[in-house]
């Protein structure tokens, strides 16, 4: 038998496995990308008509800023390489730098995916943390301040805490488990959102002496489309976090993800019916998202039955949390803090309660991770927002808020009922 | 040569093929998942503004209920295993139960996909049969009764008839061919819809002494988005039904699916122009869906040219069928019976007329399958709906129908033109 | 060692690689398919409410016509086979014809994808060139004339110039580089659009003595959804153009595509802010598309940093180009000529300026390709449109334009604010 021929066959089989794994990672990447449309739709649907262009504009800019910031600096802060193992901080330099020996690709991360696949998959994640903030601060934040906050958040805050776990830092060494980012992505976005809405204050007219005034979103179809697209993308978010196309691993994650989302819907349906005596679509939509956020930390560890329990509890949490934040007069137009922060914490702790790693010790570690990342992110976000507040200002004028950000910041309306003269003719004639 | 090394290479090649196949099945799964957004959009677009929240709510609940019911019971009713081969009924127990020897994954169904992949792909299919019903009964059914019907339909009816063919039951043994479910999924949904609308009656004001009153949907963009998403998802629905990533098989199915949909559009375009002398967007949209349903039974057997003929005929059927049901005063706001039932039957019979299995004998078998599954499903659905009608009631009051289900069942509107006080402030202050 | 066993393992490894590659190509195919929904949404959002049904109708018909025309004739004109190598024209016969020896599939194009995969991937591309035209001629073209134009454009024009490069024709021989079609798809659509809008004239009331009257689109959410879906689909458009699942190749293309789109958003953001002093959502949306079109020709050749530069410049071009066409009184409701023609040319030339093939010689070749394909397409389109103009007419009456095409051509409205009698009851009672 010819040794060369055997080697050629082995290389062929390796290339085939590498191709299959990498194809899944890239498919997961496009699914995660579409979550940005999911967020854009959801947030648009949940804001008032007069602020629709503004929220769409922010969502377009967030993905653009997110990808570029993460390329410029974030990726190499989050994955600084072996030298920073177990540590708090590391940096491998600006831009992308193909590691030595990785050019051939197949050597990179044991044939599961290429270097560029690694970057682009992670980059799609990075921008989501800003999108979470964007929903919470909607309808009253200044566009420039928000975009500046996003640049800093994606460039520094998200990657540094991300490195603690996914970059091989101190939390990873301690045994913290956060499979796809209940804490690292969702709670991080949620903490940023919380800091921002504390400093920003509620929308004018939301909390009055006569009670809390719900401000319904302008388009439930847009909101529902957003939630379905987010669920769709979540199969890539969680499924891609297996970091290969391993059939047993990815398919288990699909099952836990899908069942937790379904159970989240049921949980929110029941809890909100008991609380409000009506079939509340917003709650069911957020219940689905809550179930998804809740299962994200342990999607790889749970049995299908446990996934249903975790998702159900997350769904039940949603209406309670929404009411809780409202009682604190923390105004969050889309419920982002309830979905991403509260259910993110729940999902992270659930890893210590259910599944293969359950135990008091693990629960303690999960708590440490939650608190450490929460503290860093909240302080970072509060600090940056505070600096923006005392310098550029973070809130639009009350008049602009009343008119709506579409006209005051963008000089255009989201919908044209009747034909009228547009606004840039002055500039070009 | 080292035997161990050869074995390792063989295992590597097996793992690579397994990964490639399974990746395709999971990709198909997410595509089928998105069909639920397609249905939600389509149905929302085709109902009146005042019933939009209700239809979105139902579509959220259907996918949740569908996944959980199929997990709890349906999957093991539909795939009871070898002992029930050739039979009418079997049950492998509640929940998921990894078959013996399947833990390693690669042994499961000859390395094409894992056990959990099998479940989640099939689970995405299961819920669609309820969604089909949901469109037909829109704008007048009671929410609670409908949801209860869904639980029973996905838990029992769909899996039992599904088992007859896909679970290796008596129809499979007889040689019935229904590749991806023109009958097993679409006609099943259509029969359920037919039973329901017979018992439910038409929307108030639809059939008057002065003639038939068309009730146009409130948003054609939503409807069109829905149809494109359904077409998109159908590549997973049919393409995944190859049950592996086999390049020749899946790519043929892609071609037949795409061409039949395109021909369906043309068929409906021509037929509806001749009938109504106008370019009717609803008909073209349903023509696309008709073409897709029509090719589904034989997407693996037809040449591209034959697929065009099958799809074209399905498209032509659509306007005739819509008019036919209207003449019978069977009110179906979205045309679900025409698309899924009539074109489902057409597609199933077409397997006996065209392609590799064509012949009088096969046509007879296709007819037997159509009738048997139709009879079971219709009787089951009629029975359940009848019981619901005489107990809880299945129809909202005429007053609620006039107000619209959004306000009467959900106490909220789909769109907010101007700002107004929402509805749950009473509950929480 | 048993030779038969080695051969079996080799075949297994080959099959695995073939499956992985083909799965990626089919995944890319469905992504490109969804671009048609992207175009439909974008164009719907950018037209006035009264022309929404019409643009949706056209987009449904375009994909149907595109797939069928390309099946009937276009594919074999574009890929006529080896005999036409280096030439200007070739034709391999009507319909699909599995090449000899390709039945086994794996022999076809060296195991990267099957024959039917090849066809369906290319067919999804073909229809896009008409969709580009559709946006530019919106709100005033006659439906029948437009559909006839589409048939001829996809059947003849697009495949003939496509053959010059991708079919192995004279441009390929000369060394022209157009990776995924900045020229072959986008500029081709753009030239067709330019010819059409010259002959068609501007919308009534657009260019008045008092200046240019902007006519804002009726739904910014629809437009934004469209752009996100196009970006999503572009990962298949560019990623599939690698023509295999090669991990290193596809992942590089993902990175360049994503970063160029992001940079396009930033470029358009800055340029339009400087020009119009406002945050213009339409410009940012078209900036994203401009970045995507710009990188398409060289997505396989550029480093991430260079991709950012190319995309940024494309984004900056957008507002200038929009103003430029407006000054020429060439009315393009969606900015298709700016996005697809101008940025298509920019992207094609950029291959001669940046990246692995940069050089004066290459720039010259890129210019020759641009001009040759531009000349052919413009003359073909102008000729066909001119013939249609002097025979059937290409423009609706001024009265119909005022009423809107939805009522005048389709006898229906896109949105139903209040319930009213529909329009086909007369025909069927």
Q: What tens digit of pLDDT does each residue of B5-45 get? A: 999 999 999 999 999 999 999 999 999 999 999 999 999 99
Best residue of A15, A35, A258, A265 to probe chain B, by most B CBs closer than 10 Å: A258
Structure tokens at C383: 């000729």
Question: Which chains neighbour A (Cβ–Cβ under 8 Å, 3 or more pairs)?
Answer: B, C
Q: What tens digit of pLDDT does each residue of B252-304 get? A: 999 999 999 999 999 999 999 999 999 999 999 999 999 999 999 999 999 99
Which residues on chain B are in Cβ contact (under 8 Å) with A417? none
pLDDT of residue B99: 58
What chain C residue is nearest to B47 in terms of C-alpha separation? C416
Which string of DSSP letters, residue by residue, matches A149-162?
HHHHIIIIIHHHHH
Domain spans of chain A, in order of start: 3-96+105-410
pLDDT at B107 over 70: no
Contact B258 C123 (CB under 8 A): yes
Separation CA B66–CA B80 (nearest Å): 18
Give me the residue from B14, B250, B262 closest to C67, CB to CB: B262
CA angle (A205 as vertex; A199, A206 as ends), nearest 5: 65
**What percent of chain A lies above the pLDDT cut of 70?**
94
pLDDT of residue B127: 87
Separation in Å, CA of B386 to nearest CA in chain C:
31
B414–chain A Cβ distance below 8 A for any pair: yes
pLDDT of residue C106: 44
Contact C6 B10 (CB under 8 A): no
Q: What tens digit of pLDDT does each residue of A272-313 get? A: 999 999 999 999 999 999 999 999 999 999 999 999 999 999
Which residues on chain B are in Cβ contact (under 8 Å) with A9? 9, 13
Band (pLDDT 50/70/90 cuts) for residue B402 is: very high
Say which residue, C92 or A418, is predicted with more confidence.
C92
Q: What tens digit of pLDDT does each residue of C118-173 get? A: 999 999 999 898 899 999 999 999 999 999 999 999 999 999 999 999 999 999 99
Contact B114 A261 (CB under 8 A): no
B320–chain C Cβ distance below 8 A for any pair: no
CA angle (B182 as vertex; B177, B185 as ends), nearest 5: 110
Q: In chain B, what is the straight-line distance between the N-terminal and C-terminal CA atoms, in Å?
A: 80
Contact A278 B57 (CB under 8 A): no
pLDDT at C38 over 80: yes
Which residues on chain B are in Cβ contact (under 8 Å) with A248? 105, 114, 116
Which residues on chain A are in Cβ contact (under 8 Å) with B29? 235, 254
Contact B10 C15 (CB under 8 A): no
What chain A residue is nearest to B24 in terms of C-alpha separation? A24
Q: What tens digit of pLDDT does each residue of C65-102 get? A: 999 999 999 999 999 887 778 888 888 888 887 655 44
pLDDT of residue C99: 58
> Chain B neighbours among A 260-319 (CB < 8 Å)?
261-263, 265-266, 269, 275-282, 284-285, 288, 304-305, 308
Separation in Å, CA of A117 to nearest CA in chain C:
5
Separation in Å, CA of C255 to nearest CA in chain A:
6
Contact C227 A59 (CB under 8 A): no
Which residues on chain C are in Cβ contact (under 8 Å) with B16? 13, 16-17, 20
Band (pLDDT 50/70/90 cuts) for residue A98 is: low
B424–chain A Cβ distance below 8 A for any pair: yes
Give me the residue from C217, C278, C323 closest to A416, CB to CB: C217
Q: What tens digit of pLDDT does each residue of C160-215 get? A: 999 999 999 999 999 999 999 999 999 999 999 999 999 999 999 999 988 999 89
What chain C residue is nearest to A119 in terms of C-alpha separation? C255
Best residue of A221, A232, A304, A312 to probe chain B, by most B CBs closer than 10 Å: A221
The residues near C2 (Cβ < 8 Å, ≥ 6 apart) are none
Share the mean pLDDT of chain C: 93
Contact A231 B16 (CB under 8 A): no
HEC profile of chain C = CCHHHHHHHHHHHHHHHHHHHHHHHHHHHHHHHHHHHHHHHHHHHHCCHHHHHHHHHHHHHHHHHHHHHHHHHHHHHHCCCHHHCCCCCCCCCCCCCCCCCCCCCCCHHHHCCCHHHHHHHHHHHHHHHHHHHHHHCCCCECHHHHHHHHHHHHHHHHHHHHHHHCCCCHHHHHCCCCCCCHHHHHHHHHHHHHHHHHHHCCCCCCEECCEECCCCCCEHHHHHHHHHHHHHHHHHHHHHHHCCCCHHHHHHHHHHHHHHHHHHHHHHHHHHHHHHCCCCHHHHHHHHHHHHHHHHCCCCCCCHHHHHHHHHHHHHHHHHHHHHHHHCCCCCCCCHHHHHHHHHHHHHHHHHHCCCCCCHHHHHHHHHHHHHHHHHHHHHHHHHHHHHHHCCCCECCHHHHHHCHHHHHHCCCCECCCCCCCCCHHHHC
Separation in Å, CA of C191 to nearest CA in chain A:
25
Separation in Å, CA of A292 to nearest CA in chain B:
12
Contact A247 B19 (CB under 8 A): yes
pLDDT of residue A96: 86
pLDDT at B149 over 90: yes
3-state helix, strand and coil shares in percent for chain A, rounded to the nearest 5: 70, 0, 25
**Superfamily (CATH) of domain A3-96+105-410:** Ammonium transporter AmtB like domains (1.10.3430.10)
Which residues on chain C are in Cβ contact (under 8 Å) with A37? 225, 228-229, 232
Evaluate the CA torsion angle C204, C205, C206, C211 in order and state its sign: positive
pLDDT at B207 over 80: yes
> Chain C neighbours among A 162-191 (CB < 8 Å)?
none
Separation CA C193–CA C132 (nearest Å): 7
CATH fold for the domain made of B10-99+106-410: Ammonium transporter fold (1.10.3430)
**What percent of chain B lies above the pLDDT cut of 70?**
94
pLDDT of residue C85: 80
Which residues on chain C are in Cβ contact (under 8 Å) with A29? 235, 254
Contact A288 B71 (CB under 8 A): no
pLDDT (average), residues A201-221: 94
Share the mean pLDDT of chain A: 93
pLDDT (average), residues B201-219: 93
pLDDT at C317 over 70: yes
Say which residue, A105 or C355, is predicted with more confidence.
C355
Q: What tens digit of pLDDT does each residue of A23-81 get? A: 999 999 999 999 999 999 999 999 999 999 999 999 999 999 999 999 999 999 999 88
B5–chain C Cβ distance below 8 A for any pair: no
Which residues on chain C are in Cβ contact (under 8 Å) with A71? 259, 304, 308
Band (pLDDT 50/70/90 cuts) for residue B95 is: confident
Share the mean pLDDT of chain B: 93
pLDDT of residue B429: 35
Residue in C233, C167, C75 with CA at minimum distance from that of residue B259: C75
ipTM confidence: 0.95
Contact B412 A220 (CB under 8 A): yes
Band (pLDDT 50/70/90 cuts) for residue B426 is: very low
Q: What is the pTM of this model?
A: 0.96
Contact B251 C424 (CB under 8 A): no
pLDDT (average), residues B400-421: 85
B248–chain A Cβ distance below 8 A for any pair: no
Give me the residue from C22, C225, C421 closest to B213, CB to CB: C421
Question: Which chains neighbour B (Cβ–Cβ under 8 Å, 3 or more pairs)?
Answer: A, C
Give me the residue from C12, C68, C143 closest to B263, CB to CB: C68
**What percent of chain C lies above the pLDDT cut of 90?**
85
Domain C7-410: give its CATH architecture.
Orthogonal Bundle (1.10)
Separation CA B13–CA C229 (nearest Å): 36
Band (pLDDT 50/70/90 cuts) for residue B105 is: very low
Chains B and C form CB pairs within 8 A to the count of 214
Structure tokens at C53: 């049904």
pLDDT at B242 over 60: yes
C23–chain A Cβ distance below 8 A for any pair: yes
Band (pLDDT 50/70/90 cuts) for residue B424 is: very low
């Amino acid at each position: 038998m010819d040794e060369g021929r055997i080697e050629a066959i082995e290389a062929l089989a390796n290339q085939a496995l590498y191709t299959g794994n990498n194809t899944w990672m890239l498919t997961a990447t496009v699914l995660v990308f579409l979550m940005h449309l999911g967020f854009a739709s959801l947030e648009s649907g949940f804001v008032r008509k007069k602020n629709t262009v503004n929220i769409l504009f922010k969502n377009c800019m967030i993905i653009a800023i997110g990808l570029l910031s993460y390329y410029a600096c974030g990726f190499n802060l989050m994955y600084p390489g072996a030298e920073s193992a177990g540590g708090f901080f590391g940096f491998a330099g600006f831009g992308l730098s193909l590691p030595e020996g990785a050019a051939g690709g197949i050597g990179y991360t044991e044939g599961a995916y290429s270097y560029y696949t690694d970057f682009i998959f992670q980059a799609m994640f990075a921008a989501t943390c800003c999108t979470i903030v964007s929903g919470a601060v909607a309808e009253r934040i200044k566009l420039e301040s928000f975009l500046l906050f996003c640049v800093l958040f994606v460039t520094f805050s998200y990657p540094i805490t991300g490195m603690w776990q996914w970059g091989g830092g101190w939390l990873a060494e301690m045994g913290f488990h956060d499979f796809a980012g209940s804490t690292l992505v969702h709670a991080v976005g949620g903490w940023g959102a919380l800091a921002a809405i504390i400093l920003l204050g509620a929308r004018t007219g939301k909390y009055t002496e006569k009670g809390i005034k719900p401000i319904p979103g302008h388009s439930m179809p847009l909101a529902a489309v957003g939630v379905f697209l987010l669920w769709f993308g979540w199969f890539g978010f969680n499924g891609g976090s297996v970091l290969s196309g391993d059939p047993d691993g990815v398919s288990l994650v699909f099952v836990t993800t899908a069942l937790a989302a379904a159970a989240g819907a049921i949980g929110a349906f029941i809890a909100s019916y008991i609380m409000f005596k009506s079939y509340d679509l917003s709650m069911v939509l957020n219940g689905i998202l809550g179930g998804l956020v809740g299962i994200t930390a342990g999607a790889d560890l749970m049995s299908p039955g446990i996934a249903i329990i975790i998702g159900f509890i997350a769904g039940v949490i949603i209406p309670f949390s929404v009411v809780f934040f409202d009682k604190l007069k923390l105004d969050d137009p889309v419920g982002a803090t309830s979905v991403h922060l509260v259910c993110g914490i729940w999902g992270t702790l659930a890893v210590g309660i259910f599944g293969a790693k359950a135990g008091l010790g693990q629960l303690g570690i999960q708590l440490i991770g939650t608190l450490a990342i929460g503290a860093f992110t909240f302080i970072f976000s509060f600090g940056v927002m505070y600096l923006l507040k005392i310098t550029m200002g973070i809130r639009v004028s009350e008049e602009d808020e009343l008119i709506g950000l579409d006209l005051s910041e963008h000089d255009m309306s989201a919908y044209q009922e009747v034909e009228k003269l547009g606004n840039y003719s002055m500039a070009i004639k």
